[in-house]
């Protein structure tokens, strides 16, 4: 049996990172996707990831995390307790690595979907997203919200409400988020997504702010309540195609993150260049410390890209109103 599963990355448009704080986010999936090809059978579990290949034995000890590319697979095996699973798995991705586009979550979502399909287990999209989040948080020990997992599974352009999900619950008691597609109201995606050229890891950026939030720091609490409100206002701006208003909301969102120390010099430099080149709004596409920015530019995207390239942007990542996780199975 051969299974192919794919999942996209994502770029946060407005509201992020309040998905981890009971907030609201609008996000869009990337055209680049992660891909998992799984063939059931053989002896043991052999995986190829990032041009590296490794074979695992049936012992649970073989699946202890080792801080390498194979940890995502180890975490799935640990979660499902399938230490004797015999298969060959090939993982590839076109999502830039550590670019703030949830590329690692896309890989994990495709893996979880493929392995569940191999065992003829069907999960609803909501349950699948929450399962990926559970593995990422509790097995990979990555500080995370919910935006990445829901976008990997659902794909498209979504308004997502995470209210009452500010505190993590066990999977069997977790509330499902509200996911509302905005694609029917948008003729085209008026965004430019640019990579700063600096890799970043979301956990290192998010953890200190999460700790401040848990301690009741009013600057973080008030800032993220406002950022969540910006996404709720952004929903109307999208539906009415009020791009100037959406740009203002994106800019305020970035100022909040910048004030909390969650942006970074590379991001701020490209954001300023984008605004000077005519973008109506620009902000982080995910967590800061490097990674990727998203700029709103209904017009003049070529001029904007030229300015960003001169300022050091190394890559432009196209967005897409595509499906999230896709699974194909053949005998």
Secondary structure letter of residue 176 according to DSSP = P
CA atoms within 13 A on the CB side of 277: 25
Q: Which residues pair with 92 in a beta bridge?
A: 35
Q: How far apart are CA 15 and CA 289, in angstroms?
A: 18
Q: How far apart are CA 149 and CA 145, in angstroms?
A: 8
Please give the CATH topology (third level) of the domain spanning 2-183+323-330. Ribosomal Protein S5; domain 2 (3.30.230)
pLDDT of residue 92: 97
CATH 3.30.230.10, the chain: domain bounds: 2-183+323-330
Consecutive H or E run containing 169 = none
Q: Flag whether the pTM goes above 0.85.
A: yes
Q: Which residue reads 């005519």 in tokens?
A: 278
Whether 28 and 14 have beta carbons less than 8 Å apart is answered as no
pLDDT of residue 293: 96
Percentages (nearest 5) of helix, strand, coil residues in the chain? 40, 25, 35
pLDDT of residue 148: 97
CA atoms 231, 236, 238, 244: torsion sign:
negative
Options 3.20.20.70, 3.30.70.890, 3.30.70.270, 3.10.330.20; CATH for 185-316 is: 3.30.70.890
pLDDT of residue 287: 67
CATH 3.30.70.890, the chain: domain bounds: 185-316
Mean pLDDT by 10 residues, the chain (331 residues): 97 96 97 98 92 91 94 97 96 91 96 97 96 96 92 98 93 96 94 84 64 92 97 97 98 95 88 97 81 94 96 95 94 79
Per DSSP, the residues of 24-91 read EEEEEEEEEEEEEEEEE-SSSEEEEETTEEEEE-SSGGGGS--SSTTHHHHHHHHHHT-TT--EEEEE
- For residue 34, give both structure tokens: 């992660």
Instruction: Single out the residue of 6, 3, 4 nearest to residue 107, CA to CA.
Output: 6
pLDDT of residue 199: 64
Secondary structure letter of residue 128 according to DSSP = H
Alpha helices in 155-264 (DSSP H): 202-214, 218-239, 243-259
């Amino acid at each position: 049996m051969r299974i192919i599963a794919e999942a996209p990355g994502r770029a946060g448009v407005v509201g992020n990172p309040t998905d981890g704080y009971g907030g609201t986010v609008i996000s869009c999936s990337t055209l680049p996707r992660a891909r998992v090809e799984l063939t059931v059978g053989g002896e043991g579990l052999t995986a190829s990831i990032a041009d590296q290949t490794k074979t695992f034995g049936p012992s649970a000890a073989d699946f202890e995390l080792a801080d390498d590319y194979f940890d995502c697979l180890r975490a799935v095996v640990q979660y499902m307790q399938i230490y004797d699973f015999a298969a060959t798995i090939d993982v590839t991705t076109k999502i830039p690595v550590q670019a703030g586009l949830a590329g690692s979550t896309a890989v994990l979502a495709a893996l979880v979907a493929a392995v569940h399909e191999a065992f003829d287990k069907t999960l609803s999209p909501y349950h699948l997203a929450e399962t990926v989040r559970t593995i990422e948080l509790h097995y990979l020990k990555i500080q995370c919200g919910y935006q990445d997992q829901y976008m990997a599974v659902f794909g498209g352009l979504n308004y997502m409400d995470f209210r009452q999900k500010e505190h993590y619950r066990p999977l069997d008691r977790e509330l499902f988020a509200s996911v509302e597609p905005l694609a029917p109201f948008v003729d085209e995606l008026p965004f430019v997504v640019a990579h700063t050229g600096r890799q970043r890891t979301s956990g290192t950026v998010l953890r200190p702010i999460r700790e401040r939030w848990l301690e009741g720091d009013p600057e973080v609490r008030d800032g993220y309540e406002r950022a969540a409100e910006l996404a709720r206002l952004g929903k109307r701006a999208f539906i009415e195609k009020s791009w100037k208003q959406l740009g203002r909301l994106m800019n305020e969102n970035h100022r909040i993150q910048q004030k909390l120390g969650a942006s970074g010099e590379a991001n701020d430099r490209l954001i300023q260049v984008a605004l000077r080149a005519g973008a109506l709004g620009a902000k982080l596409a995910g967590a800061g410390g490097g990674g990727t920015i998203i700029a709103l530019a209904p017009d003049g995207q070529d001029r904007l890209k030229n300015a960003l390239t001169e300022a050091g942007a190394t890559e432009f990542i196209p967005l897409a109103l595509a499906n999230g996780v896709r699974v194909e199975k053949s005998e």
